[in-house]
Structure formats: C-alpha cells, structure tokens
C-alpha cells in the first residue's frame, strides 16, 4: 500500500511539474505576443517628427530669411523683392530637406509687409506633414533688412 501511495504522490508531483511548465510556456508566449502586438502602437521614435520639424523650422526661419534677404538687398534688389526671393529659396530648401527626413514642409500664403525703413514683417502658414499626421501653424516674424 505504501508503494501505491508513493507512486500516486510521484504521479501527482509529475503532473504538477508538467502543469507548471505548461503555464510558464503559455505565460512567456503571452508576454511575447503582447510585445509584438505593441510594437507599432505604443510609442514610435518617429512619431514626434512633425512636431520636432515644425519647431526646428519656426526657430530657424527668421534668421535664415533675414540673412538671405540681406544678401539680395546688398546685391541691389528691392527690399520686398529680396524678401520674396529669400522666402522662395527657403521654401525650396525646406521642402527638399523635409523630403530627405520623410516629412513634407510647405509654406503657404506668404505675406511680406514693410514696417519701416529697416524692418520687414513676414507672415505665412506653415504646414508639416508625414505619412500619419499634419501640423499647420501660423507664423509671423520680423527681419531687419
């Protein structure tokens, strides 16, 4: 009888060990499945591309436009025309740069107003787009030229 009880205990322990192994296997598969399923929905490193690109463009646009306008003015072009040429060239460069980074940068409705003999105000609608999002901003700044 003792042997039968001993065999019964061994079978129960083996059954318990098998259950634990199966449970751990299922748990590890579930964790792996959750990780794989969450790869595209949690936080992708490029999800902030539109916001970061917009910030970079807003930061760099005034000095870039001012420097290019000054170059055109010193070569003898009228201030308004120089500012238009500067903004057109900046737009082309940003459009090309955006294509390299996987975003599209557009400047629309560019309005250039002479404030006084040294200050020009430029306002525009900035649009930055990638394959999943778009951010439009109204940007106004002044340059001295």
Percent of the chain with pLDDT over 90: 44
Examine the pLDDT at 70 and tell me if it is beyond 50: yes
Examine the pLDDT at 59 and tell me if it is beyond 90: yes
Q: Given this model, what pLDDT does residue 84 score?
A: 95
> Which 8-state DSSP code applies to residue 47?
G
Examine the pLDDT at 1 and tell me if it is beyond 80: no
Distance CA 87, CA 92 (A): 9
Examine the pLDDT at 62 and tell me if it is beyond 50: yes
Residue pLDDT, tens place only, 81-94: 999 999 999 998 88
Residue pLDDT, tens place only, 96-138: 876 667 788 899 999 999 999 899 999 999 999 888 888 899 9
Q: Where does 1-145 have alpha helices with state H?
A: 2-37, 49-74, 79-101
Q: Quick one: which H or E segment has residue 56?
A: helix 49-74
Q: Taking all residues of the chain, what is their mean pLDDT, rounded to a whole number? A: 84
What is the arrangement of strands in the sheet containing 134-144, beginning at the earlier edge strand?
A: 104-114, 119-129, 134-144
Distance CA 114, CA 43 (A): 45
């Amino acid at each position: 009888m003792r042997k039968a009880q001993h065999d019964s205990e061994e079978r129960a322990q083996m059954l318990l060990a098998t259950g634990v192994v199966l449970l751990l296997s299922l748990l590890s598969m579930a964790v792996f499945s959750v990780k794989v399923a969450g790869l595209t929905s949690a936080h992708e490193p490029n999800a902030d591309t539109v916001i970061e690109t917009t910030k970079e463009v807003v930061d760099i646009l005034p000095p870039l436009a001012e420097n290019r306008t000054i170059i055109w003015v010193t070569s003898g072009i009228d201030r308004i025309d120089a500012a238009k040429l500067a903004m057109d060239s900046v737009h082309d460069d940003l459009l090309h740069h955006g294509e390299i980074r996987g975003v599209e940068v557009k400047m629309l409705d560019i309005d250039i107003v002479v404030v006084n003999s040294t200050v020009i105000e430029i306002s525009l609608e900035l649009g930055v787009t990638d394959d999943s999002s778009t951010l439009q901003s109204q940007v106004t700044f002044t340059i001295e030229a």
